[in-house]
Amino acid sequence: MFYISTRGHSVKKKFCDILLEGLAPDGGLYLPEYYPKIHSYELQRLRDIYFKKGYAYLAFEILSVYVDDIPRDDLLALCTKTYTENIFGSHLITPLRKLDANISILALSNGPTLAFKDMAMQLLGNLFEYELLRKNQQLNILGATSGDTGSAAEYAMRGKKGVRVFMTSPDGRMSKFQKAQMFSLMDANIFNIAIQGVFDDCQDIVKEVSSDLEFKKTYKIGTVNSINWARLLAQVVYYFAGYFQATTDNNQLVSFSVPSGNFGNVCAGHVAKMMGLPVSRLVVATNENNVLDDFFKTGLYKVRNSSNTYETSSPSMDISKASNFERFIFDLIGRDASKTAELFSKKLQAHGEFSLSDHPEFSGIREDYGFVSGHSNHLQRLFAIKDTFEKFGELIDPHTADGLNVARQFLEDDIPMVVLETALPVKFSDVIQEAIGAVPPTPDKYKDLENCALRFESMSADTQLVKKFIAEHCA
Ligand SMILES: *Cc1c(COP(=O)(O)O)cnc(C)c1O
């Protein structure tokens, strides 16, 4: 399997070539040359593998379709090391629980940081370590986080050989739980940098450091952002696991509702559907930052700047542009790379928007690709949390609440609707308190977290200081 850029860069690459890279050299995103089809007998085999041998073996089967430059035994070992009951809390790894006759919740948030990003990031940590060792290289990951991504990256990379993590975060702006989760890590290869500023300041610093090519090269700076194909690929696996749990045979259809921000999660659902998984609808659920919802309703994709991006009670979906969206558009317009380049590097750069409403392809978005969308707001989230708690005794987090709200608009007879649970309520206890008047229970292994010793470096929002810190700790 070779990988191509959505913008047409001509050098074809292998999985491990793009593993440690971010964007393609032409600014596009990497995608496999094609999506291998899983035929129905094959689907039955995968179903049996999941229930008889477990999630890790299912992951291996799906990964090995796209990864042919890691020996099969090694790839299997990486999967079985990653997806364990010990790390994810159950042998199904992503267990499905029924709410009512139509709707179920797929638990993706029982990994180390209690958000779905662990599903991909834990694998990425093991893949990075493997590949860096094989190439005899080092990598220093520099990132900016407002909470979920940074902690998932740190828990995935802690103690890994060849990798260091330098994670900037806005001082005093993460929840107490998130801060404790990150700053309590004492691993020698993890560095938390609390920046006196807001999230945008952190992101600007990362951009500035990365644009200093000399520094980037000397200190082997890399990232783990959501455009990484390996992350997306890891996420394809749980659509299969969710499908198998929601059905008894492979003629049935299933719909998925996905709380969306950067379009990584639901894009993995799109890949699963392209591979032949019998998916009816892919429901793109957003919060008040409804850039994606607008697109799927009208064909107009209009990004926002950060001052027009609302701070909401489902904060991990507060995005102004969706970094993975280009992948789907590339597929939608018949994998026309020059057209994709024009839309994303010309129109979007110049006008902050483009429209596909007049394109014949846009009309197929629902029929051919299954995409539908909606959004919900703060009060609707609170209501969904309370209602779900009262009716079903189930506590859901605010992001999952957006997913559930929008899912209800797209139910179909006899087609199970699976809502992806992207975080656990304990991460957002203020919102839960507001919704039900009580704080969510803290899982046992996190009981002491908020009393732990913390280790972090405090710094003003100054790129030079961050560079100096990195240089001093890369010796
Ligand atoms: C990152 C995140 C999302 C958004 O996922 P995308 O892949 O960016 O669409 C939703 N919910 C939670 C809790 C997240 O951490």
pLDDT over threshold 90, residue 138 = yes
Protein residue closest via CA to atom 2 of ligand 1: 316
Q: What are the phi and psi torsion angles at 421 (to 5°)?
A: -90, 110
Question: Ligand 1 centroid vs 286 CA: distance in angstroms?
Answer: 10
Q: What is the pLDDT of residues 152-196, one digit of tens each?
A: 999 999 999 999 999 999 998 888 888 899 999 999 999 999 999
Instruction: Give the model confidence (pLDDT) of 69-105 as tens digits.
Output: 999 999 999 999 999 999 999 999 999 999 999 999 9
Which amino acid appears at position 424 of this protein? L
Cα→Cα distances 25→9, 13, 18, 29, 400, Å: 7, 12, 11, 9, 35
Q: Whose CA is nearest to atom 1 of ligand 1?
A: 316
| 299 alpha carbon – ligand 1 mean position (Å) | 22
More confident residue, 37 or 12: 37
Q: Which atom of ligand 1 is nearest to the CA of 265?
A: 7
**Ligand 1 midpoint to CA 363 (Å):** 27
* pLDDT band at residue 147 under the 50/70/90 scheme: confident
Question: What pLDDT score was predicted for residue 385?
Answer: 98
Active site residue 207: no
Q: What is the DSSP letter of 278?
A: -
- How far, in Å, is the centroid of ligand 1 from the Cα of 225? 12
Check residue 90 and give its pLDDT. 95
Beta strands at 139-144 and 221-222: parallel, antiparallel or unpaired:
parallel
Task: Quote the pLDDT of residue 436.
Answer: 97
**Which residue owns the Cα nearest ligand 1 atom 14?**
316
Which of the following is catalytic: 13, 37, 53, 117?
Answer: 117
Fold of 96-113+229-436: Rossmann fold (3.40.50)
What is the C-alpha to C-alpha distance for residues 50 and 56, in angstroms, rounded to an integer?
8
Higher pLDDT, 117 or 204: 117
Distance CA 83, CA 92 (A): 9
Domain ranges of the chain: 96-113+229-436
Q: Select the more confidently predicted residue: 307 or 206.
A: 206
Q: Quick one: pLDDT at residue 462?
A: 96
Distance CA 295, CA 293 (A): 5
